[in-house]
Amino acid sequence: MRQSFLRRLAESVVILIGVALLIFIMLRVVPGNPIEIMMGEHANQSTVDRMTAELGLDKPIYVQFFRYITGALRGDFGTSYSLGKPVSSLMRSAFGNTLKLSVSAAVFAWVIGILCGVLSAVRAGGPADHIFMGFSLMGVSMPVFMTAMVLQFFFGYYLHWLPISGSGSWRNFILPAIALGWNSAGAISRLTRSTLLDVLQEDYIETARAKGLTETTVVLFHALRNTMLPVVTMMAIQFSGMLSGAVITETVFSINGIGRLSVLAISGRDIPLLQGTVLFSTAVVILGNLISDSLYSVLDPRIRREA
Amino acid sequence: MIHNSDMTLEVQGLSVSIHTRKGTTKPVNDVSLRIPKGKIIGIVGESGCGKSMTARACMGLLKPPVKIESGRILLAGRDLVGLPESDMCAVRGSEISMIFQEPMTGLNPVMKVGRQVDEAVRVHRHIPASKARQETIRMFEAVGIPEPEARYNSYPHELSGGLRQRVMIAMAMICRPALLIADEPTTALDVTVEAQILRLMKELNKAGTSILLISHNLGVIAQVCDYVYVMYAGQILEEAEVCALFDSPLHPYTRGLLESVNSLRREEPVLETIAGSVPDFLHLPQGCSFSPRCGQCLERCASGEPPLFEPEPGHKVRCHLYDKDTSRI
Ligand SMILES: Nc1ncnc2c1ncn2[C@@H]1O[C@H](COP(=O)(O)OP(=O)(O)OP(=O)(O)O)[C@@H](O)[C@H]1O
Ligand SMILES: [Mg+2]
């Protein structure tokens, strides 16, 4: 178990370095000189040359990469061309907002998703099932920007209950959390429902019933844990996706998070910032997978022993 | 009806129906069973004849669209049919227990087996966890699980099929039920393990538990049962003391079953198999359900369903051949 975890960890580091290298090369082969963009159209050639040398962009690419990696290990990701601030501090403050958004969206998605899924499964075919599954289907099929705008219009503009945009107080995060969370709540509840329905057909559920346990106990203590095996994997992957920046939600609600920072980096051709955000997102997704695998083996004793 | 206090369970005229879009079927049709105290009663029949359905009806485990159509299931005189679910939960696992065919999938894969057995005591008797654990370990010992303390913390996948079935039996027996229903408990096990499990069931029976043993294996039935019911297409075709049934089977179906076992034992090519196949419940033949496959079919077998005749005391058979009123033949 520990050994396989360490092997996975080593693999993750290799993947991360690979992604860094790929990004590094790609950003340097696309046309357009970042210095010229940064200086504006009318900069004279000598200034451009001086800046290029200052930023080390005249060095061979492997030297640049080596410098970047050694810097990154010390927490230095360079300075943003467009914002003029260290990438690391920009990302740190953006990550605070993304974290708030992701956690609230995930809590919403998990509570609502699992609740809807379980209730639908135990009342399969009944009216509650249809209502919850309709709600879930809307969640997975409506584009996030549309949900976001409907919520903004209704609760912000029309009812004046909640702020439409910004990230100043916790109240700012309620609507974005719902907009972002509804989508994953839908996916979670559908997976929970179908898995639980399968699990309830298993022989050991009949054994549990034959012991004289009530149906509620059977569902909560025998079926749910087995149902959660695939659901937990999905939750971890969704959560790491949110943490790596919910571009649309952050943009629509003007939340200064990782997603918005990436958009800014792309539109400004801000190479250090873009490298930073992409690398960060990759790391988060890899970590999410690692955690979901570990959780899986905690929940499932069969895997625990084999690994 | 006066209750006979020597009966652990008495099933009277039980019919189970399934409503589907294709139509309504009756996988259990007017079945009556009597399980006297301290006996092992067998039900034998081909796959799909309704054995498990009967057992699950007794446990109150049928779920829609399957339901009890009519009949009574008397446990020590109390009718279980129509009992509210909460009362039925108190009966299950405490007064009647059941073990299933598949020990490989019958235990929850993510729970320690000891905990799963514990739970069976703790729902019925509110005792502290440490006490339940002790009882579980004692029960593990009683059903012949080696190193019971260590096995308590095992997960199902760490145990062999035989051990798992022993765990299932421990779970079923821990509340000392009056009746144990064993639905093909050894079908998934190899022959030596089967013999061990059957021996264990006999021991439990000696200690006072009545057993309803379901099997499609006549050998198993012959080894352990006192009295046997032969089931076919949802009906009891013949019932008798085990010796009477094996020495002088009456129903052509029972004879066919015994012949096919005997020819296997003599290692002859199987000549005496029963022609044809088990009928589909949606298209049951008119009259006797066995008539299309029967070698001794009479004219009226195809029209009128035979009642249970009792040609010898305690030996009943559902076949027109045994109608004493010969004028009708
Ligand atoms: N949920 C269900 N819906 C519809 N038909 C069912 C259902 N469960 C069982 N049946 C049918 O009811 C009949 C009786 O099934 P049952 O499980 O009692 O057979 P069995 O005698 O135990 O057979 P086996 O030896 O294979 O266990 C079978 O024909 C089966 O196809
Ligand atoms: Mg069966």
- A147-151, B29-33, B266-270: range with lowest mean pLDDT: B266-270
Confirm if A163 and A173 have CB atoms less than 8 A apart.
no
Instruction: Give the sign of the dihedral formed by CA A166, CA A167, CA A171, CA A176.
Output: positive
Alpha-carbon radius of gyration of chain A: 24
In terms of DSSP bridges, do strands B78-79 and B66-75 run parallel, antiparallel, or are they unpaired?
Answer: antiparallel
For the residues A116-144, what does the mean pLDDT come to? 91
The pLDDT of residue A232 is above 80: yes
pTM of the model: 0.84
pLDDT of residue A302: 80
Q: What is the mean pLDDT of chain A?
A: 86
pLDDT surpasses 80 at B49: yes
What residues in A contact B98, CB-CB < 8 Å? 210
Of B101, B97, B55, B265, which Cα lies nearest the Cα of B194? B101
Contacts of A247 (CB under 8 A, 6+ apart): A259, A260, A262, A263
pLDDT in tens, A255-278: 989 999 999 998 888 888 988 998
A184 burial class (0-12, 13-18, 19+ CB within 10 angstroms)? Answer: buried
| A198 CB within 8 Å of a chain B CB | no
Distance CA(B141)–CA(B149), nearest Å, equals 9
Higher confidence at residue B328 or residue B48? B48
Instruction: Give chain B's mean pLDDT.
Output: 85
Judged by phi (left if over 0) then psi (alpha if -120 to 50, else beta), residue A269 lies in left
Task: Name the pLDDT band for B267 (thresholds 50, 70, 90).
Answer: low
**Would the pLDDT of A152 be above 70?**
yes
* The CA-based dihedral angle spanning residues A96, A100, A105, A110, taken in that order and rounded to the nearest 10 degrees: 100
Q: Is B110–A206 a contact, with Cβ atoms under 8 angstroms apart?
A: no
Cβ(B44) – ligand 1 distance below 6 Å? no
**Ligand 1, atom 19, residue with closest C-alpha:** B48
- Phi-psi map region of B11: left, alpha, beta (phi>0 left; psi -120 to 50 alpha): beta
CB-CB under 8 Å, A301 with B109: yes
Q: What are the boundaries of each domain within chain B? A: 4-95+177-322, 107-176
Amino acid A84 reads G
Which of A26-30, A188-192, B128-132 is predicted most confidently?
A188-192
Sheet holding B78-79, edge to edge: B23-36, B7-20, B66-75, B78-79
Structure-block tokens of residue A221: 């203590």
3-class SS of residue B308: coil
Residue B42 pLDDT: 93
- Average pLDDT for A197-223: 92
Asked whether the predicted pLDDT for residue A78 surpasses 90, the reply is: no
> Could you say which architecture CATH assigns to the domain B4-95+177-322?
3-Layer(aba) Sandwich (3.40)
What does the pLDDT read at residue B117? 92
Query: Quick one: pLDDT band at residue A121, thresholds 50, 70, 90?
Result: very high
Model pLDDT, residue A41: 66
Average pLDDT, stretch A163-176? 85
Is any Cβ of chain A less than 8 angstroms from the Cβ of B150?
no
Query: Which chain A positions have a beta carbon within 8 Å of B90's beta carbon?
Result: 212
Distance CA A18, CA A25 (A): 11
CATH 3.40.225.10 fits A90-306, yes or no: no
B249 CA to centre of own chain: 20
B47 lines ligand 1 (CB under 6 A): yes
Q: Does the pLDDT at position A191 exceed 90?
A: yes
| Residue A277, number of CB atoms within 10 A of its CB | 29
Cβ within 8 Å of residue A51, ≥6 positions away? A35, A38, A39
A58-96 burial: b if 16+ Cβ within 10 Å, else e: eeeeeebbeebeeebeeeebbbbbbeeebbbebbeebbe
* Residue A215 structure tokens: 């149906």
pLDDT at A194: 95
| Mean pLDDT in residue range B307-311 | 83
pLDDT given at position B4: 60
Least confident of A14-18, A127-131, A144-148, B307-311: B307-311
Angle of CA points B63, B67, B71, to nearest 5°? 140
**Tokens representing B184?**
């093909």
Q: Determine if the peptide bond prior to A301 is cis (ω within 30°).
A: no
Encoded tokens for B78: 């109390």
Amino acid B125: pLDDT: 87
Q: Residue B3's CB: how many other CB atoms inside 10 A?
A: 11
Is the confidence at residue B46, as pLDDT, over 80?
yes
Longest dimension (CA), chain B: 71
Instruction: Write down the pLDDT at residue B326.
Output: 60
**Distance between A255 CA and the closest CA of chain B, angstroms:** 42
Q: How many Å apart are CA B37 and CA A268, to the nearest integer?
A: 87
Q: What is the pLDDT of residue B293?
A: 81
Q: Helix (H, G, I), strand (E, B), or coil: what is residue A25?
A: helix
**How many other C-beta atoms can be found within 10 angstroms of the C-beta atom of residue A1?**
13
Half-sphere exposure of A149 (CA within 13 A, CB side): 6
State the average pLDDT over residues A157-170: 84
Specify the pLDDT at position B181.
93
**Residue B187 is encoded by which pair of tokens?**
């079908």
CA of B183 to the centre of ligand 2 (A): 6
> What average pLDDT does the segment B19-39 reach?
88
Q: Are A226 and A196 a contacting pair, CB within 8 Å? A: no
pLDDT of residue B213: 93
Task: Decide if pLDDT at A66 tops 80.
Answer: yes
Which residue is closest in CA terms to ligand 1's atom 14?
B50
CA B144, B150, B154, B158 torsion: positive or negative?
negative
More confident call, B20 vs A187? A187
Check if B284 has its Cβ closer than 6 Å to any atom of ligand 1: no
pLDDT at A175: 92
- pLDDT at residue B271 tops 60: no
Q: Is B31's C-beta closer than 6 angstroms to any atom of ligand 1?
A: no
Please give the pLDDT value at position B301: 80
Higher pLDDT among residues A177 and B204, named by residue: A177
Intervals of CATH 1.10.3720.10 along chain A = 90-306
User: Tell me, what's the ipTM?
Assistant: 0.85
| Helix, strand, or coil (residue B236) | strand
**DSSP letter string, A236-289:** HHHHHHHHT--HHHHHHTT--SHHHHHHHHHHTT-HHHHHHHHHHHHHHHHHHH
Q: Where are the beta strands (DSSP E) in A86-231?
A: none
Identify the residue whose C-alpha is closest to ligand 1 atom 6. Answer: B18
- b/e for B221-230, b at 16 or more Cβ within 10 A? bbbbbbbbbb
Burial of residue A215 (CB within 10 Å: 0-12, 13-18, 19+) is middle
Question: Chain-centre distance of CA A216, in angstroms?
Answer: 34
- Give the pLDDT confidence score for residue A307 in this predicted structure: 42
Give buried/exposed letters for B54-92 (b at 16+ CB in 10 A, else e): bbbbbbbbbeeebebeebbbbbeeeebbebeeeebbebb
Residues A212-217 have a mean pLDDT of 91
Instruction: Say whether pLDDT at A54 is over 80.
Output: no
Coil, strand or helix: which one is B79?
strand
